[in-house]
Structure 1
Amino acid sequence: MFTLATWNINSVRLREDLVARLLREEAPDILCLQECKSPVDKIPLGQFRALGYSHIVARGQKGYNGVAILSRLPITDAGDRDYARLGHARHVAARLENGVTIHNMYIPAGGDIPDREVNEKFGQKLDFVAEMRDVFHADRPERAIMVGDFNIAPREDDVWSHKQLLKVVSHTPVEVEHLLAAQDAGNWVDITRKDIPQGKLYSWWSYRNRDWAASDRGRRLDHIWASPDIASAGHDSRVLRHLRGWDRPSDHVPVLASFDLRV
């Protein structure tokens, strides 16, 4: 069995100590980070390696985006894809010795206006997810896990108010439609919702809310999906809500799942 965590860290250099604290307290075998905001050679790996995470596969860029996979288990670089030809570090893949490929994704946020005619970023987001759909349709994933900050909360109980967020980027019908089409194209199984099928569930709370816990206006933007051939091995999903209360936190919290797969 191995445990995998995904976390939009919102600057790995700024929050190096929070990453180290998570690794000490939760000890996932694999940690996928998004929005690292760092070139790969500037990621502070020393503390992570001292905790046993000696394997890394990453793509980075200065000040923006960036994805990294830290692992206690041996992994090899399985490449990346420049979805929607944005030139951004938003995808990287790593392969475990058991043949399972882990895809770490950071889908664009999409700006503030849900109209591609007036907001280029929203169009880029839709194009990014549409290309994911096409890739999965052409090459159905097998022995694969895909995680990351998808920046879309697809279900009504993935947001604090379905009605009030229908016109807010991350929960608009067109975004949800695109994400579900990508999920269907690869027959991906939402492991978190397989394990926690009912009830409100969030992984992100805005910095704009002074008392995030009291207002609890969250969204589930961070996901763990598995291809159908290994989905039944996924279990014990958790969302570490309390980390949003750590000092100088990310606006996202980690999502974890365990997999009964021989490594």
Structure 2
Amino acid sequence: MSDLLLRTDAGAVATLTMNAPASLNALSDAMLAALKAEFARLGADPAIRVVILKGAGKVFCAGHDLKEMQAGRAAPDRGRAYFTDLFARCAEVMQMIPALPQPVIAAVHGIATAAGCQLVASCDMAVAAEGTRFGVNGVNIGLFCSTPMVALSRNVPRKIAFEMLTTGAFIDARRAAEVGLVNRVVPAGALAAETRTLAETVAAKLTAAVRIGKRAFHDQIEMTRAQAYDHAAKAMVENMLWRDTEEGISAFLAKRAPDWG
């Protein structure tokens, strides 16, 4: 366990805290590796019945680390191999969450954008603080959120998902609850306590029943998840190689308007 991802166990509930507030808890290469390693440990830990996932600092998670992604373009292939590997690793981490024997609850505050919104959608349940905003807003910088789309479209009605993906618009916590992205919305000061109460309620149930039920739930509702991630990842790699996407991300990082011609 590194300082990048903190784990605190209290009874049968483990809390994972993404601890990179300076980068808005971006899903960097290191963060993805830390999440993968800890999910693997949790999956083999019979003492833990429920997992809470949250972010340190002002936000839950702002998605992929765009600076790392841009740096990947320095390779002779302009980043194709890196992007292919990145989206495969991200998809693997996202799929580990429903595959865990324990229910995973996201405690969300601030913003959850792009792959951060994907992370919320990948969790079994989510509690959001009032004022939290959710978006799959990559289209605003020229990168359609193809892989986040997989989890999002399995959580919310397809027309809502498509609107979010094509407009890049944010929805607030209340709207997120209305469309099924989160289970409940609570005052910001009550987020930790309310999430803990939900976790303890689930943890108090028969562990074997919850574990077999979780597996059955995901098996029957998302039979094509892996195929969808493979397809979406390839689309995202192609998208990352576009000149306008490169310009869009560069403009975003430089805090200027993109020159898309």
TM-score, normalised to structure 2, is: 0.31
Relative to its length, the structure with more helix (as a share) is 2
Highest CA radius of gyration, 1 or 2? 2
Relative to its length, the structure with more strand (as a share) is 1
TM-score, normalised to structure 1, is: 0.31
